[in-house]
Structure 1
Amino acid sequence: MVSSLAHSAARGAYFTLAAQAARIVLQLLSVVILARILSPHDYGLLAIVLVVVGLGEIFRDFGLTSASIQAPELSAGQRDNLFWINAGMGVVLTAVMFSLSWAIGAVTGKPELVGISQWLSLSFLLNGLATQHRANLMRDLKLRPLAVIDVASSAIALAVAIAVAIAGAGYWALVVQQLVTSIVVLAGVVIAGRWVPRLYSRSHPVAQMVNFGWTLVATNLIGYASRQIDTVLISFRFGTVPLGLYNRAFQLIMTPLAQVRSPLQSVALPVLSRVQQDQPRFENYVTAAQLALGFLFGIPVAIVAGLAEPVVDIMLGSRWAEAAPMLRMFAIAGILTTVSFVGYWVYLARGLGAELLRYTIVTALLKVVCIVIGSFFGILGVAVAFAVHPALAWPISLSWLSRITPMPRRQLYQGACRIIAVSLAAGLAAWGAGLIVAGTSSWLQLAAGLVAGLAVSACALVVPAYRRDAKTLSAFVRLMLTREGRAS
């Protein structure tokens, strides 16, 4: 007998992973097609504005998505009030960014950023209206409609962006892509949610959720500042073209990973929140989540690291060859951050907002130090520093969590070591195979490296520990594919 919660989690993960697989394909298509039409300068301009947009998004959400999902009980009136708070934040931020657009252009010396900033300010309004509609679907584990919405928004936005780029609009194609995504998501969650918010009412207090959200805002602000320090340093020290190279290498690895990890949070957070009082069950879910994330994404990312040169040539074209070493560094960082990502879920599920804030301050300072030191060695030095940071932050994360809440630290360390070991072996095998056929087409190098990497990964199954991991993952996959009636 499989528990209803376990089945809901597995089915939710199934729809989420399927949707994100489709979105990753669309993202790769976007990179392949648009990178051949647009220039590094175009991407560099957008990257600068997205730093500001990302900062505003933290305030726009105000941590209320996580607060509403994590809350043990949420009344209809509280949900209505949270909607109006997020909508109000969206309106205010739209006005603020529009007003600051001229300052952004003046400070950066890029007059093109004025118009880009003004149009992208509308994303705050659109996303603010969508926030609680989306959170309500996540809270109820209605992840199939969310999956459809995410795929449809990415596909429609990409199609429109390609058409605009072909028409010769340059960086405006990237602006249109951002706005169309937000518009389609808003329409989708409103239709799927079938919920019309009522007026704000003081009779339904939300102070506790706002307080929890505020700690997340502070945490996310610090984390965001540390995440953007590399973009800011490269922009001011090296210019938009190096920033475009860095940004495309980053997008090839970190964006697909984020597109999978963040939506999976919509499955993990409500599930972990519900079982947090059952410690053995909670620990089983946490360790299984780490294995699932680590093996499913660590091995492919490691193979990409070993085949960085042919991957960049295929995905971006020959003029982007300088991005290959940076791609390799981002792949290493991607594996390490994925292994440690479950720690963030534990903070949210346990409601440890204040503790998460303190931990984030420490690791943010650590990242700033790494990036600043790396910047003295050029743009590649920044990418190396980006990879070094999670290697230092991961053990700090486990130690920090273990001091404030029960954690299966030994199992997590052992699981992570197994993930890293097999990923390293797969990456080295892919790199070696690529070298053997060097001088041939990039596609042949990619095929040879892929076969070698997967073959070495399969060989790990001779080790009993890896066979147990495979059994755990296969059981979860079977649960994802089992319909409700057969699971109960």
Structure 2
Amino acid sequence: MSAPAEGTGTLSARLRRGTLWGALNVGLSRVLQFITTLVVARLVAPEHFGALAVALVVQVIAVNIAELGATAALGRGDRDPDEIAPTVFTISLVTSVLLTALVILLAPSLAAALGDSGATPVVQVMGLTVLLSGMTSVPTALIWRDFLQKRRILVDVLNSFVALVLVVPMALWGWGAMALALSRVGGQLTATIGYWIISPKRYLPGFNIVEARGILRLGLPLAMANLVVFVTLNLDYMIIGRELGPVQLGLYLLAFNLASMPSSVITAVIRTVAVPTFGRLNANGTLAVAALKVTAGIAYIGFPVSALLAGLGAPLIVAFYGDKWIGAAVAMASLGIFGAARILSEMFADLCVGAGKTVGLFWVQVIWLIALVPAMLIGVRLWGIAGAGFAHVVVTWFVVIPVYLVLVAKSTGARILSLLGTCFPAAAAAAVCGILAWLVAARIPVALPSVLAGAFAGLVVYALVTFRWAQALLRDIKQASAGEATLGNPVLAGTDRTGNRS
């Protein structure tokens, strides 16, 4: 019997295939990005990373609002793409062109405002990725919608590989931050061509005013939420650049990238399948039960990784990047803990999008930003880049996650105490894992062996402590999947409706 074609079959089968290929894709891409950072960190000075951080603040914010959230209407999978894709394409293309022009024109002012006027040409070059991203909005949304992650692997890996191939010689030629910016543009151009080739269907721009209203009604709150969240997540770069200068900003960027790499991998894998899956589960009335299972599973996977990053920060920095970057280590402990909160917050946001409740996401991000501004200013002025990490931890865990819990409960019908309860065993065991890893690593003076020994000890203890809980979780997930029907019918048997930086 032949294997089912990609994008066909029951929802859980498509989810498993999409997650498997998505995980492979993200893993390969992140490995190449990690190698790129590893190589470049040996070739350029910390201040060049600071200039890149300034450019990334502008580029990331622009890219994530360029299509006004319109692709969410395609990604949810509950509409015929022929009806809305041309309008989505037009919205994305127009806004990305306008934003690219604004980035190029305003680059001098933006770079100065972020504390590094010398980053102006880097900001302008990075602005080109905004236009390229807008041109691929519909192809990427269609691939996302239909779980076609297998097709994405070659494109995304080529993106990272081209960036690596370009950046090394340019860094050796002494181009510094511009080498980093040009390599990213080259990778994005490769991805743009690739996505148009692998897209399941190609659409030309078009416009339907009735469809546009519905698309923007869903997408605008999401776009505004994205704008606020990416301002929030880049607020640390803005404040560090102005308060501490480009060298400290470069050290912080390296620490942030290393600390956030596991969480960004996990959230990127989830995002390849989350919204299309949650949208269908919401339509079938089973999202409340699924929210509990997903929260428990994500906590089990993500929390120990974050704990290890917190416990092994200093030897990790030295082992991977060398002694000249040791100043970045002071931020690692708090940034590792922040990574765990970031995993939960992004998954909670996807649950709300899948439920079609996007207005609340905007207000969550507003609250996040309002709380983070004073916390970040105080933290950076008192404790430097370590204080930036502390600010993230305090705000995300004590302000943002509680607000998200309320929003997810209202959107999906899942109970707040149940959501908290699913995370507690993993959180307690992860704390033990991180502390043990730190104690073991501290006894070994050589960086790489200390990392390996600490990670091994922490993970062994984590696996033993959570063994029975993990078994029960896996059994629950299997039982839920066993009763599924084909798409269009209830997916989980026996349930009632109670409701990615650089």
For the criterion TM > 0.5, the same-fold answer is: yes
1:299 to 296, 304, 310: 304
Matched, 1:396 2:403: yes
DSSP 3-state at the match of 1:62:
coil
Aligned equivalent of 1:469: 473
Aligned equivalent of 1:347: 352
The alpha-carbon deviation at position 293 of structure 1 amounts to 2.1
How do 1:283-432 and structure 2 match up within 5 A?
283-379=288-384, 380-392=386-398, 393-403=400-410, 405-432=412-439
Distance 1:195 1:371, change over 3 A: same
Is 1:290–1:340's contact at 8 Å kept on the other side of the alignment? Answer: no
The alpha-carbon deviation at position 203 of structure 1 amounts to 7.3
Matched, 1:226 2:232: yes
Is 1:104–1:113's contact at 8 Å kept on the other side of the alignment? Answer: no
Counterpart-to-counterpart distance in 2, 1:404 and 1:11? 27
Is 2:379–2:387's contact at 8 Å kept on the other side of the alignment? Answer: yes
Aligned equivalent of 1:484: none
Matched, 1:257 2:263: yes
Counterpart-to-counterpart distance in 1, 2:347 and 2:36? 29
Tell me how many residue pairs correspond in the alignment. Answer: 472
Distance 1:292 1:151, change over 3 A: farther
Is 1:31–1:315's contact at 8 Å kept on the other side of the alignment? Answer: no
The alpha-carbon deviation at position 268 of structure 1 amounts to 0.9
Encode CA deviations 1:283-342: one digit per residue, 9 max, x unaligned: 332222223322223212312221111100012210111211201111111112223432
DSSP 3-state at the match of 2:372:
helix
Distance 1:474 1:41, change over 3 A: farther
The alpha-carbon deviation at position 473 of structure 1 amounts to 7.0
Counterpart-to-counterpart distance in 2, 1:89 and 1:203? 16
**Higher deviation after alignment, 348-357 or 22-31:** 22-31
1:49 to 18, 30, 55: 55
Q: Normalized against structure 2, the TM-score is what?
A: 0.88
Aligned equivalent of 1:23: 29
Aligned equivalent of 1:195: 201
Counterpart-to-counterpart distance in 1, 2:352 and 2:210? 26
Matched, 1:240 2:239: no
The alpha-carbon deviation at position 270 of structure 1 amounts to 0.6
How do 1:71-220 and structure 2 match up within 5 A?
72-107=78-113, 110-193=116-199, 195-202=201-208, 205-220=211-226
- One-letter code of the match for 2:208? R
Counterpart-to-counterpart distance in 1, 2:474 and 2:30? 24
The alpha-carbon deviation at position 263 of structure 1 amounts to 4.5
DSSP 3-state at the match of 2:41:
helix
Is 2:352–2:411's contact at 8 Å kept on the other side of the alignment? Answer: no
Is 2:57–2:234's contact at 8 Å kept on the other side of the alignment? Answer: yes
The alpha-carbon deviation at position 190 of structure 1 amounts to 0.3
**Higher deviation after alignment, 86-95 or 291-300:** 291-300
Aligned equivalent of 1:266: 272
Counterpart-to-counterpart distance in 1, 2:179 and 2:148? 32
- One-letter code of the match for 2:223? V
Counterpart-to-counterpart distance in 2, 1:338 and 1:201? 36
Counterpart-to-counterpart distance in 2, 1:10 and 1:308? 33
Counterpart-to-counterpart distance in 1, 2:262 and 2:32? 10
Q: Normalized against structure 1, the TM-score is what?
A: 0.91
> What are structure 2's unaligned runs of at least 5 residues?
1-8, 483-502
DSSP 3-state at the match of 2:155:
helix
Distance 1:471 1:33, change over 3 A: farther
The alpha-carbon deviation at position 8 of structure 1 amounts to 0.6
Counterpart-to-counterpart distance in 2, 1:72 and 1:477? 21
Is 1:81–1:204's contact at 8 Å kept on the other side of the alignment? Answer: no
The alpha-carbon deviation at position 5 of structure 1 amounts to 0.3
Counterpart-to-counterpart distance in 1, 2:269 and 2:106? 31
Distance 1:107 1:242, change over 3 A: same
CA RMSD of aligned residues (A): 2.3
DSSP 3-state at the match of 2:282:
coil
Aligned equivalent of 2:441: 434
Counterpart-to-counterpart distance in 2, 1:56 and 1:141? 26
**Higher deviation after alignment, 385-394 or 332-341:** 332-341
The alpha-carbon deviation at position 197 of structure 1 amounts to 2.2
- One-letter code of the match for 1:326? A
Counterpart-to-counterpart distance in 2, 1:359 and 1:212? 16
Counterpart-to-counterpart distance in 1, 2:309 and 2:481? 24
**Higher deviation after alignment, 7-16 or 366-375:** 366-375
Is 2:54–2:111's contact at 8 Å kept on the other side of the alignment? Answer: no
Distance 1:476 1:316, change over 3 A: farther
Encode CA deviations 1:339-397: one digit per residue, 9 max, x unaligned: 34321112101111212222322232122232223123132112111112221121222
Is 1:58–1:220's contact at 8 Å kept on the other side of the alignment? Answer: yes
Counterpart-to-counterpart distance in 1, 2:120 and 2:466? 55
Counterpart-to-counterpart distance in 2, 1:110 and 1:404? 42
> What are structure 1's unaligned runs of at least 5 residues?
479-488
- One-letter code of the match for 1:450? A
Encode CA deviations 1:243-293: one digit per residue, 9 max, x unaligned: 1111110011214422431342230101110111444x3233222222332
Aligned equivalent of 1:485: none
- One-letter code of the match for 2:289? N
Encode CA deviations 1:460-483: one digit per residue, 9 max, x unaligned: 145x334313545789999xxxxx
**Higher deviation after alignment, 257-266 or 106-115:** 106-115
The alpha-carbon deviation at position 458 of structure 1 amounts to 2.1
The alpha-carbon deviation at position 235 of structure 1 amounts to 0.8
DSSP 3-state at the match of 1:197:
coil
Distance 1:221 1:111, change over 3 A: closer
**Higher deviation after alignment, 251-260 or 99-108:** 99-108
Distance 1:277 1:74, change over 3 A: closer
